[in-house]
Amino acid sequence: MTTFGTGARRALSFASTALVAGALGVAGTLGYQWVTAPDTSAVDAQAGELADALRKDLTSGFYSAGGGTYGGQFTEGTVVAQTEAHGGALLSFGSDGGVHTAEVMLGLVPPEARTSGAKDPAADAYPVRCYRYTFAFGAHSVKRSGVDCPTTRTDGRPGSLVAQLGVLLVEQPAGNNAYRNTATEGYTHTPQGVRDFLKAKGLVTAGDAVTGVSGRADGDDLYVVALRINGACHYLRMGSGSSSSSASDLIPLWTAPADEQEACDVGHAVAASALYGTDPAKEG
């Protein structure tokens, strides 16, 4: 699985994007982009890279042709982390009959700012675009298509969705590499155990506010939690023992999709805790 950058770096990049988006509003921003016909090749390239990353995570086997370790099972957290690593945010995620669909907004952070720390260009110089990804069992099943970006906030409040997502991403945990693969066993399946795990693993710092912790057992060894970190809804998947539900190659903590931010419901967290992909260890 892939390792991702720190929450602090994301916050610096997303802060300027959110301020610009909040001032202009998504409608005005997109309208100006249409008039000036901006080059969308950069954000489209990000979308292509995200599709390739998902294909690699779906590759069955211990090693990919390029020498990386891919395959195995992964959580919705991997999709969220991959999306954020490619400059975007997850709008929604759902499954129907074994086909999984993720809708994302990309272009919130330009690639040059994400990789080099360069100053973000103005919002009208780097277009925000939305995409739908579907996948099933293997890498060949990944499909990508462009979709219209929603123009209203998911919480029903006035303002643009771009601004909402900018603020959401600024509110990510400040912990060291918060969305990373890590084992969860060894901690009690209680609200206090959740806080102990987050602090011990460096997923949050003393400056992060952890509130609204609501957990539910799911099976014999799985504890799923909805919680807020700095006001942003997150899901946490804690396993115990040596089963795949607690495997150290899973990302256990992730930002809830935009359309689930307002409710931040443990029922949604349980639905989001499903495993995707294949388990190479069971395939010989």
* Residues 87 and 109 sit within 8 Å (Cβ to Cβ): yes
Question: CA 205, CA 5: separation in Å to the nearest integer?
Answer: 16
**With pLDDT > 70 as the criterion, what percentage of the chain qualifies?**
70
pLDDT in the model for residue 180: 84
Are residues 130 and 200 located together in one domain of the fold? no
Residue ranges of the chain whose pLDDT lies below 70: 1-38, 60-72, 110-126, 241-249, 278-284
Which residues, listed in sequence order, are joined to residue 7 by a DSSP beta bridge? none
Residue 179 lies in a domain: no
- Which domain range does residue 43 map to? 7-170
Are residues 197 and 102 located together in one domain of the fold? no
Question: CA 160, CA 218: separation in Å to the nearest integer?
Answer: 36
pLDDT in the model for residue 201: 93
Task: Report pTM.
Answer: 0.79
Are residues 162 and 229 located together in one domain of the fold? no
> How many other CB atoms are there within 10 angstroms of residue 237's CB atom?
26
Between β-strands 276-277 and 73-74, what pairing exists: parallel, antiparallel or unpaired? antiparallel
pLDDT in the model for residue 258: 93
Strands (E), 107-245: 129-135, 143-147, 210-217, 222-229, 232-239
Are residues 64 and 195 located together in one domain of the fold? no
Residue 178 lies in a domain: no
pLDDT in the model for residue 138: 77
Residue 176 lies in a domain: no
* Residues 154 and 264 sit within 8 Å (Cβ to Cβ): no
Residue 186 lies in a domain: no
Q: Percentages helix, strand, coil for the chain, rounded to the nearest 5?
A: 35, 20, 45
Residue 184 lies in a domain: no
Residue 180 lies in a domain: no
Of 136, 170, 204, the position where a domain reaches its end is 170
Are residues 72 and 213 located together in one domain of the fold? no
Are residues 119 and 149 located together in one domain of the fold? yes
Are residues 37 and 158 located together in one domain of the fold? yes
Are residues 132 and 46 located together in one domain of the fold? yes
Question: CA 105, CA 33: separation in Å to the nearest integer?
Answer: 16
Are residues 21 and 112 located together in one domain of the fold? yes
**CB within 8 Å of 2: residues ≥ 6 apart:** 53, 78, 81, 82, 85
Are residues 26 and 56 located together in one domain of the fold? yes
Structure tokens at 230: 């700095």
* Residues 149 and 107 sit within 8 Å (Cβ to Cβ): no
pLDDT in the model for residue 235: 96
Structure tokens at 74: 């992964």
Are residues 31 and 137 located together in one domain of the fold? yes
Are residues 200 and 98 located together in one domain of the fold? no
Residue 98 lies in a domain: yes
Domain count of the chain? Answer: 2
Residue 215 lies in a domain: yes
